[in-house]
Structures are given as C-alpha cells and as structure tokens.
C-alpha cells in the first residue's frame, strides 16, 4: 500500500508538471491592457437566521444547526427512550462575509482570489467565532487554471450539489469538505466543455478520525502522502456530468504494541463519484453516486477499523466501505422556488476481526448505523435580496448491533427525526 501511494504521488506530480508546462507555453489571446482601476476587492455575503424544531435528539454539530441523523435509542430504568425528547432552537451562525479579489496579470495569466469566512466556528465550543471558509488564489490561462489555497474538495462539485435549505447541504449523503490544496483544471476541447481536474490536498477543518492522543489531521500529515484526486467533467448550458476518483493514505499511529515500538502501518482508501445535472425550463435535476472508503472527512458515515493479530502486536487497519446516493429536483421560478431532495447511504463495513473503530456511525462492537435515508420537500419565497425558505426534513436511520467487521447483520431499529425549518436570508 505504501508503494502504491508513492507511485500514485509520483504520477500525480508528473501530470501536474506536464499540464503546468502546457499552460505556461500557451500563447495568451489578444486582450485589453491591464486596468488598475478594476483591481481590488468586492464584498459579498448574507445574513441568515435558522429557526428549527426537531422531533428527536440528533447526531449534529453547532447546537443542531448542522443536522445529520437521529441518535440511537437510550432507555432509562422504565424502558423509556431518553433521546425521544424534541428540541427547538434559533441560530444566525451561518451568516457569511466574503470578498472577490482581482489584480494584475502574472506569468501571462489572469489573477483572482476569494477570501470568505463565517461565524460557524471550528468546533461546538467555538460557536459564533469567525472562521475561514475559503482562501483561494487562481491563475487563469486560455485553457488552464492553476489554483492554490483552501477551497471546496473536488468531491464537492460546485456545479452539482443539493439545493436544500438546511445548512447540512445534503450531508451525510453528499460529500462535504473544504481543504488546503493545489488544483489544476485543464480544458480539453475547443469549446471548453470538457475538463480534466487534478488536485493534491491536505486535511485541515475536515479531517479523518485519529486514535486517542493524536490531532484529527495527524494521520494524514504523518503519512507524508497528500490526498490525490482526478476528475473528468463535461459542462454546457443544459448538462453537467462527471466522474472522479479519490485516494488518501493515513498513518494513524507513530507507535503501537507492547512493548511500544515504531509503527509504520498505513490505511489507504479509494473513493469514486459520478454525478449529473440536467437543466430544463421548469426544473433542474441533479443526482450523484458515491462509492468510497473512509469518508469521515467528508462528513459521511464510515472510517477505518483497527486490528491486533495477537496480544501486544502492532495495530493494523482496514478502511470501511460506504455507498451513498442522492437526487435533488429544484424549480426554476424567480419568486417561488419549490424543491425536493432524496438521499440514501449504507455502511458496508470492512474485513472481520477488528478490535477498534475510528470514524462516524461505525464500530467493532456495540450499536451503530446500517443505513440512512432522507426525504425533504421545500419551498423558497424570494423578493429582491431577501428570501424565506421552509423545509420539512424526514431522516430515518437503521441502527443495529455490529459484528467485528462493522457490519450490522441482525435485527435493526428504525430511529427517525422530523425537522421543521424556517430560514431567512438577506444577501448582499
């Protein structure tokens, strides 16, 4: 696995270098002279307030503003479910401020950047704190774009994601991740409809789960191999479609076993995405399929399992497998915009014999997730820069008892939550 990671890294670097050479060799098209009067920053953002009622306690973040799925049942001494208690809350922490930045040409390319932040905080204890979302600088030639900084992971396709009102944006069915990265986008045809996207990424705010005693992104940093992504996309006025493959390698521990010795054990994971967006006059239809491993860093179900072959042995690892599918239908009206979302995801486990689990909704024993589905109708009312949105989100999670491969094979309990959401948004 280590050799595979090294070979993949070398191939990715060679591809980066070859496209870079092609970009810098491109003859710049005839264009007007740089105009310093147009350089600077243009602010944008919105002020948003969420009012939400949930029928049950949730697996969530930031006091429930980012909802994932219902908590498992927890019975008291009288066999009553403690987690059956509903909740109500109001929050404005997703309010956002950003800037689009332009400047003089460099290396024969147009330059631009975005800098964006919000009040969501990086952890529950930091709610209301201002945090970085995007810090993204781009060089654009006629056929090639080279970009650096923190931005959406390529598995979050900015041209094809759910239009739901809830801040969860379709999680845990839709990959959701912003990461530091270097990304090359190469146009492949004369009409600029086909693109090849190559990216090398690190983990920062969205990280895999680490063993106790390690920071969340330590396993990626200690692996010395960046997350690598390759994607092909077709885009025109009526259709967006693409496929992508993603690979990452983690070194969960630096030392392990009894006696304690250096551990160089890795866990590699490969994921695939396929997506399509069809634009018609009455509606926009979007859909995506994700088949992957160790997708915790994308706020999805999954992770990796730990194995100890004999007492005191060094821990080894295997990534759990996850599948997820979603579809979103959105109206194209200007003042009243209805929509509907459906999502499904399943935990498919890993190899047997595990003694530990590192992830979300998985385990080597105890109870956890078999599958989750969601339906959520919505409607938005728009007037100028102001928008009211209301949504009913029904999410049902099948909980059961894990085997030592993180698969649920026996009886399950369907634990569901219904969220009623009203969101107000003033954009600028």
Residue 145 has what pLDDT? Answer: 98
Average pLDDT on 407-427 reads 97
Q: Given pLDDT bands bounded at 50, 70 and 90, which one contains residue 39?
A: confident
Residue 278 has what pLDDT? Answer: 99
Percent residues over pLDDT 70 in the chain: 92
Residue 30 has what pLDDT? Answer: 42
Residue 13 has what pLDDT? Answer: 53
Answer yes or no: is pLDDT of 28 > 90. no
Determine contact, residues 202/227, Cβ cutoff 8 Å.
yes
Token code pair at residue 148: 């650096």
Q: How many helices (H) and strands (E) does the chain have?
A: 2, 24
Answer yes or no: is pLDDT of 383 > 50. yes
Answer yes or no: is pLDDT of 27 > 70. no
Q: Given pLDDT bands bounded at 50, 70 and 90, which one contains residue 350?
A: very high
CA 258 – CA 66 distance, rounded (Å): 41
Q: Given pLDDT bands bounded at 50, 70 and 90, which one contains residue 36?
A: confident
Residue 38 has what pLDDT? Answer: 72
Task: Read off the pTM.
Answer: 0.91
CA 423 – CA 378 distance, rounded (Å): 11
Answer yes or no: is pLDDT of 373 > 70. yes
pLDDT digits 0-9 by tens, 354-372: 999 999 999 999 999 999 9
Residue 418 has what pLDDT? Answer: 99
Average pLDDT on 19-35 reads 53
Determine contact, residues 143/159, Cβ cutoff 8 Å.
no
Answer yes or no: is pLDDT of 32 > 50. no
Residue 124 has what pLDDT? Answer: 84
CA 189 – CA 187 distance, rounded (Å): 6
Q: Which class for 301: exposed (0-12), middle (13-18), buried (19 or more C-beta within 10 A)? A: buried
Determine contact, residues 287/276, Cβ cutoff 8 Å.
yes
pLDDT digits 0-9 by tens, 100-157: 999 999 999 999 999 999 999 988 888 999 999 999 999 999 999 999 999 999 999 9
Residue spans of the domains in the chain: they are 2-24+46-76+87-427
CA 230 – CA 372 distance, rounded (Å): 28
Q: Given pLDDT bands bounded at 50, 70 and 90, which one contains residue 2?
A: very low
Answer yes or no: is pLDDT of 196 > 80. yes
Q: Using a CB cutoff of 8 Å and minimum separation of 24, what contacts does 158-162 make?
A: 159/233, 159/235, 159/240, 159/277, 160/240, 160/242, 160/275, 160/276, 160/277, 160/286, 160/288, 161/286, 162/286, 162/326, 162/328, 162/341, 162/343
Residue 379 has what pLDDT? Answer: 99
Answer yes or no: is pLDDT of 9 > 60. no
> Homologous superfamily of 2-24+46-76+87-427 in CATH?
Porin (2.40.160.10)
pLDDT digits 0-9 by tens, 247-279: 999 999 999 999 999 999 999 999 999 999 999
Determine contact, residues 152/136, Cβ cutoff 8 Å.
no
Residue 205 has what pLDDT? Answer: 94
Q: Given pLDDT bands bounded at 50, 70 and 90, which one contains residue 308?
A: very high
Q: What is the mean pLDDT of the chain?
A: 93
CA-based nearest residue to 249, from 213, 219, 276, 273:
219
Average pLDDT on 52-66 reads 96
């Amino acid at each position: 696995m280590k050799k595979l990671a090294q070979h993949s890294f070398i191939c990715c670097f060679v591809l980066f270098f070859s496209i870079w050479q092609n970009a810098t060799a491109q003859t710049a098209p005839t264009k007007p002279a740089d105009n310093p009067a147009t350089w600077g920053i243009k602010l944008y953002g919105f002020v948003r307030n969420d009012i939400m009622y949930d029928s049950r306690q949730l697996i969530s973040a930031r006091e429930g503003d980012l909802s994932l799925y219902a908590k498992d049942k927890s019975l008291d001494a009288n066999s009553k479910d403690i987690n059956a208690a509903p909740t109500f809350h109001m929050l404005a922490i997703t309010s956002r401020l950003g800037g689009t930045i332009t400047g003089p040409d460099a290396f024969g390319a147009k330059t631009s950047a975005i800098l964006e932040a919000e009040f969501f905080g990086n952890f529950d204890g930091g709610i209301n704190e201002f945090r970085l979302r995007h810090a993204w600088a781009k060089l654009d030639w006629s056929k090639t774009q080279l970009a650096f900084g923190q931005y959406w992971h390529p598995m979050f396709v900015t041209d094809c994601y759910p239009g739901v009102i809830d801040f969860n944006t379709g999680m845990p069915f839709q990959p959701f991740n912003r990461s530091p990265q270097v990304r090359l986008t190469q146009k492949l045809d004369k009409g600029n409809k086909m693109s090849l996207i190559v990216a090398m990424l690190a983990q920062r705010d969205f990280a895999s789960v680490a063993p106790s005693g390690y920071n969340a992104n330590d396993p990626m940093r200690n692996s010395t191999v960046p997350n690598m992504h390759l994607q092909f996309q077709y885009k025109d006025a009526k259709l967006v479609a693409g496929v992508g493959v993603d690979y990452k390698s983690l070194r969960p521990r630096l030392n392990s076993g009894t006696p304690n010795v250096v551990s160089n054990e890795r866990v590699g994971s490969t994921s695939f995405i396929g997506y399509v967006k069809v634009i018609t006059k009455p509606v926009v239809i979007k859909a995506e399929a994700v088949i992957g491993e160790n997708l915790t860093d994308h706020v999805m179900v999954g992770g990796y399992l730990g194995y100890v072959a004999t007492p005191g042995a060094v821990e080894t690892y295997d990534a759990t497998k996850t599948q997820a599918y979603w579809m979103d239908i959105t109206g194209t009206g200007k003042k009243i915009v209805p929509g509907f979302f459906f999502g499904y995801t399943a935990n498919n486990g890993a190899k047997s014999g595990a003694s530990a689990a590192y992830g979300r909704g998985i385990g080597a024993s105890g109870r956890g997730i078999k599958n989750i589905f969601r339906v959520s109708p919505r409607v938005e009312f728009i007037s100028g820069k102001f928008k009211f949105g209301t949504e009913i989100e029904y999410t049902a999670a099948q909980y059961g008892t894990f085997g030592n491969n993180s698969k649920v094979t026996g009886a399950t309990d369907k634990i569901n939550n219904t969220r009623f959401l009203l969101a107000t948004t003033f954009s600028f």
